[in-house]
Amino acid sequence: MSYSVGSITTFVMPHMQNVRGDLFGGELMALVDQAAAVAAIRHAGGPAVTASIERVDFRERIPVGALVTCAATVDYVGNSSMDITVEVYAEHVSSGEKRHTHTAHVVFVALDDAGKPKRVPRLLPETEEERERYHRAEVHRQQRRS
Protein backbone atom coordinates (compact mmCIF):
# COMPACT_ATOMS: atom_id res chain seq x y z
CA MET A 1 0.00 0.00 0.00
CA SER A 2 2.89 2.36 0.68
CA TYR A 3 3.78 2.20 -3.05
CA SER A 4 0.25 3.04 -4.27
CA VAL A 5 0.14 6.74 -3.46
CA GLY A 6 0.01 10.05 -5.34
CA SER A 7 0.51 13.65 -4.31
CA ILE A 8 -0.01 17.01 -6.00
CA THR A 9 1.09 20.29 -4.43
CA THR A 10 0.25 23.62 -5.99
CA PHE A 11 0.37 27.29 -5.10
CA VAL A 12 -3.13 28.81 -5.41
CA MET A 13 -2.80 31.50 -8.10
CA PRO A 14 -5.29 34.27 -8.94
CA HIS A 15 -6.57 32.47 -12.08
CA MET A 16 -7.82 29.65 -9.78
CA GLN A 17 -10.08 31.85 -7.66
CA ASN A 18 -13.86 32.05 -7.33
CA VAL A 19 -15.79 35.34 -7.16
CA ARG A 20 -14.85 35.73 -3.47
CA GLY A 21 -11.12 35.35 -4.00
CA ASP A 22 -10.81 31.80 -2.69
CA LEU A 23 -9.85 28.60 -4.51
CA PHE A 24 -12.67 27.68 -6.96
CA GLY A 25 -14.32 24.35 -6.08
CA GLY A 26 -13.85 22.99 -9.60
CA GLU A 27 -10.11 23.66 -9.40
CA LEU A 28 -9.93 21.73 -6.15
CA MET A 29 -11.85 18.82 -7.70
CA ALA A 30 -9.34 18.74 -10.57
CA LEU A 31 -6.42 18.57 -8.11
CA VAL A 32 -8.18 15.79 -6.16
CA ASP A 33 -8.75 13.86 -9.40
CA GLN A 34 -5.12 14.31 -10.50
CA ALA A 35 -3.69 13.09 -7.19
CA ALA A 36 -6.02 10.08 -7.28
CA ALA A 37 -4.99 9.39 -10.89
CA VAL A 38 -1.31 9.25 -9.92
CA ALA A 39 -2.05 6.73 -7.13
CA ALA A 40 -4.33 4.65 -9.39
CA ILE A 41 -1.99 4.53 -12.39
CA ARG A 42 0.97 3.70 -10.12
CA HIS A 43 -0.95 0.84 -8.48
CA ALA A 44 -2.38 -0.48 -11.76
CA GLY A 45 0.90 -0.10 -13.63
CA GLY A 46 -1.06 1.36 -16.57
CA PRO A 47 -3.99 3.54 -17.57
CA ALA A 48 -6.90 4.10 -15.18
CA VAL A 49 -9.93 6.40 -15.36
CA THR A 50 -12.18 8.09 -12.83
CA ALA A 51 -15.38 6.07 -12.33
CA SER A 52 -16.81 8.18 -9.51
CA ILE A 53 -16.04 10.99 -7.13
CA GLU A 54 -18.14 10.82 -4.02
CA ARG A 55 -19.63 13.79 -2.25
CA VAL A 56 -17.10 16.43 -1.24
CA ASP A 57 -18.12 19.01 1.36
CA PHE A 58 -16.38 22.36 1.06
CA ARG A 59 -16.24 23.26 4.73
CA GLU A 60 -13.20 25.54 4.62
CA ARG A 61 -12.20 28.20 2.17
CA ILE A 62 -8.69 28.06 0.75
CA PRO A 63 -7.39 31.56 -0.06
CA VAL A 64 -5.32 32.63 -3.05
CA GLY A 65 -1.66 32.39 -2.01
CA ALA A 66 -2.12 29.17 -0.02
CA LEU A 67 -0.12 26.04 -0.79
CA VAL A 68 -2.53 23.16 -1.41
CA THR A 69 -1.52 19.51 -1.17
CA CYS A 70 -3.76 16.62 -2.26
CA ALA A 71 -2.42 13.31 -0.93
CA ALA A 72 -4.00 10.17 -2.39
CA THR A 73 -3.79 6.58 -1.19
CA VAL A 74 -5.24 3.42 -2.74
CA ASP A 75 -7.03 1.89 0.24
CA TYR A 76 -8.95 -1.02 -1.25
CA VAL A 77 -9.28 -2.79 -4.60
CA GLY A 78 -11.91 -4.94 -6.27
CA ASN A 79 -11.16 -6.64 -9.58
CA SER A 80 -10.45 -3.61 -11.74
CA SER A 81 -11.61 -0.84 -9.39
CA MET A 82 -9.55 1.01 -6.80
CA ASP A 83 -10.98 2.90 -3.82
CA ILE A 84 -8.85 5.95 -3.23
CA THR A 85 -8.89 8.46 -0.39
CA VAL A 86 -7.60 11.97 -1.04
CA GLU A 87 -6.74 14.18 1.92
CA VAL A 88 -6.49 17.89 1.17
CA TYR A 89 -4.25 20.22 3.19
CA ALA A 90 -3.84 23.98 2.87
CA GLU A 91 -0.73 25.74 4.14
CA HIS A 92 -0.38 29.43 4.87
CA VAL A 93 3.12 29.75 3.45
CA SER A 94 4.47 32.69 5.45
CA SER A 95 3.31 31.38 8.84
CA GLY A 96 3.70 27.66 8.03
CA GLU A 97 0.24 26.97 9.50
CA LYS A 98 -1.17 23.84 7.85
CA ARG A 99 -4.80 22.73 7.99
CA HIS A 100 -6.59 19.61 6.86
CA THR A 101 -9.49 21.03 4.83
CA HIS A 102 -11.17 18.16 2.93
CA THR A 103 -11.37 14.41 2.49
CA ALA A 104 -12.56 12.95 -0.83
CA HIS A 105 -13.31 9.37 -1.86
CA VAL A 106 -12.68 8.50 -5.48
CA VAL A 107 -13.04 5.28 -7.47
CA PHE A 108 -10.73 4.63 -10.43
CA VAL A 109 -10.94 1.70 -12.84
CA ALA A 110 -7.87 0.26 -14.58
CA LEU A 111 -8.12 -0.28 -18.32
CA ASP A 112 -6.39 -2.63 -20.74
CA ASP A 113 -5.15 -1.71 -24.20
CA ALA A 114 -8.65 -2.15 -25.60
CA GLY A 115 -10.11 0.26 -23.03
CA LYS A 116 -11.82 -2.53 -21.07
CA PRO A 117 -11.63 -2.92 -17.25
CA LYS A 118 -8.47 -4.80 -16.33
CA ARG A 119 -7.65 -6.69 -13.12
CA VAL A 120 -5.34 -4.80 -10.76
CA PRO A 121 -2.78 -6.25 -8.31
CA ARG A 122 -3.97 -7.14 -4.80
CA LEU A 123 -3.25 -4.61 -2.06
CA LEU A 124 -0.91 -5.60 0.73
CA PRO A 125 -1.42 -3.70 4.02
CA GLU A 126 1.82 -3.93 6.00
CA THR A 127 1.46 -1.51 8.90
CA GLU A 128 -1.26 -1.05 11.51
CA GLU A 129 -2.22 2.26 9.90
CA GLU A 130 -2.51 0.57 6.47
CA ARG A 131 -4.60 -2.27 7.92
CA GLU A 132 -6.96 0.34 9.43
CA ARG A 133 -7.23 2.22 6.13
CA TYR A 134 -7.91 -1.05 4.30
CA HIS A 135 -10.61 -2.07 6.77
CA ARG A 136 -12.27 1.39 6.71
CA ALA A 137 -12.31 1.36 2.90
CA GLU A 138 -13.76 -2.16 2.84
CA VAL A 139 -16.63 -1.06 5.11
CA HIS A 140 -17.08 2.12 3.04
CA ARG A 141 -17.35 0.05 -0.16
CA GLN A 142 -19.95 -2.24 1.40
CA GLN A 143 -21.98 0.77 2.55
CA ARG A 144 -21.74 2.35 -0.90
CA ARG A 145 -23.12 -0.80 -2.49
CA SER A 146 -25.97 -1.40 0.01
Ligand X SMILES: CC(C)(COP(=O)(O)OP(=O)(O)OC[C@H]1O[C@@H](n2cnc3c(N)ncnc32)[C@H](O)[C@@H]1OP(=O)(O)O)[C@@H](O)C(=O)NCCC(=O)NCCS
Q: In whole angstroms, give the CA distance from residue 115 to residue 124.
A: 26
Residue number, 66 or 82, with CB nearest to ligand X: 82
Task: Output the smallest distance, CB 48 to ligand X, in A.
Answer: 9
Residues that bind ligand X (CB under 6 A): 49-52, 78-81, 107, 109, 117
Task: Output the smallest distance, CB 101 to ligand X, in A.
Answer: 23
Write phi, then psi, for 123 (nearest 5 degrees): -95, 140
CA pseudo-torsion sign 45, 55, 146, 52: negative
Residue number, 96 or 115, with CB nearest to ligand X: 115
Among 106, 91, 89, 102, smallest CA distance to 39 is for 106
| Pairing relationship of beta strands 48-53 and 67-77 according to DSSP bridges | unpaired
Task: Output the smallest distance, CB 144 to ligand X, in A.
Answer: 8
Residue number, 94 or 142, with CB nearest to ligand X: 142
Contact 83, 123 (CB under 8 A): no
Residue number, 17 or 34, with CB nearest to ligand X: 34
Task: Output the smallest distance, CB 61 to ligand X, in A.
Answer: 26
